[in-house]
Amino acid sequence: MDLDLGEDQQAIRDAVGGFLEKEVTPERVRDAEPGGFDAEVWRGLVDLGVAGMGLAESRGGMDGGLLDLALIAEPIGAHLTPAPFVETATVLRLLERVDAGAALADRFAETLASDASVATLALRPARSGTFRLVPAGAVADLVVGLDGDDLVALDAAPPGVGSVPSNLGAAPVSDRDANAGERTVLESGDAARTAFTAALDDWRVLTAGWLSGLADRALAIGVEYATSREQFGVPIGSFQAVSHRLADVSTEVEGARLLYREAAWSADEGLPRMGVLAGAAYLFASETAQKSAEESLHFHGGYGFTLEYDIQLFFRRAKTVALALDAQTPLLHDLAGRILQGSGRDLIGVGGG
């Protein structure tokens, strides 16, 4: 298993990183609140080609694997980019996998290029005809979700950021009608549940990459503040109580990065342990992002809670994204169940790749 970046992967990351450094400043992130969506930034990612890189080359994509996509999600998360990359990438991978999604993928590829359309996955099955709190649901033109025994795709006009309920991370979540617009059944029965589970695992891995980027950037903000803020005539970062905690966070950030990359690589290689690694990567990245943002905010003192300081943006989003799917305890139970259903040793890759 080689998780080093290839030449093409590094080139794409450099291009995305350069765009984000220039265009997605903390001020722009603030300006996107409370709706959490910047159409111009999303248009920029579409024009770079990364928004649809998971599509087949015949549809204008790059045939990107999950690892390619996750590597892009990391810098996007590091900048708290108000654009639905993870959501759209997840749905495009799903459409490429199911036979009934081919025509829809063709059509979406065209509207993605022309209108910078957005796609998203409803993380929870519909209840009483409604998908609840769908990520990017306020701005998504295409919503895919599990409605009873059917995996359905809904092509409908989004309700807009005005529909976004107040939430800590200013995320563009919204409820969506499971019968609105043009409805296409992609799969039914066991095949629908299998396809949905696979898409959910993709979302977990990509979100783990996004959260790893957030954690790394939050740590950098904390280190920068600790080396410039003085107390008793010396930088507070020179105190062991501060430096040791930042060092611990640094180790965990690197662990989160390696774990999401292994999960994505396992998916690209078709390894059965991918589902376990996807859950583990999401959970660990969620915990790490929250810890990194909390520690960095703590070392800012009372300043960290004020809107003028950028660290509060990372703190709020780390909390929100970590709860997008569910509270951590049920997710830990689900992960344990997956491990126990098979050979735990084989699934988690103990003893080598």
pLDDT tens across 166-209, in order? 999 999 999 999 999 999 999 999 999 999 999 999 999 999 99
How many whole angstroms separate alpha carbon 340 and alpha carbon 353? 20
Domain ranges of the chain: 193-347
Please report the pLDDT score of residue 56 as a whole number: 93
The pLDDT of residue 2 is above 70 = no
Q: In the predicted model, what is the mean pLDDT of residues 28-39?
A: 97
The pLDDT of residue 242 is above 70 = yes
The pLDDT of residue 236 is above 60 = yes
Q: In the predicted model, what is the mean pLDDT of residues 68-77?
A: 97
Q: In the predicted model, what is the mean pLDDT of residues 290-315?
A: 92
Please report the pLDDT score of residue 191 as a whole number: 97
pLDDT of 85-105, one tens digit each?
Answer: 999 999 999 999 999 999 999
Residue 345 binned pLDDT confidence (cut-offs 50, 70, 90): very low
Please report the pLDDT score of residue 245 as a whole number: 87
pLDDT > 90 in the chain, percent: 77
Q: Which two tokens stand for residue 63?
A: 């045939």
The pLDDT of residue 64 is above 60 = yes
The pLDDT of residue 331 is above 90 = no
The pLDDT of residue 347 is above 70 = no
Please report the pLDDT score of residue 226 as a whole number: 81
Please report the pLDDT score of residue 299 as a whole number: 86
pLDDT of 202-233, one tens digit each?
Answer: 999 999 999 999 999 999 999 987 887 757 77
Please report the pLDDT score of residue 329 as a whole number: 80
Please report the pLDDT score of residue 169 as a whole number: 95
The pLDDT of residue 1 is above 80 = no
Model-wide pTM > 0.85:
yes
Neighbours of 324 (CB within 10 A): 17
The pLDDT of residue 325 is above 90 = no
| CATH (one of 3.40.50.10610, 3.20.20.80, 1.20.140.10, 3.40.50.970) for 193-347 | 1.20.140.10
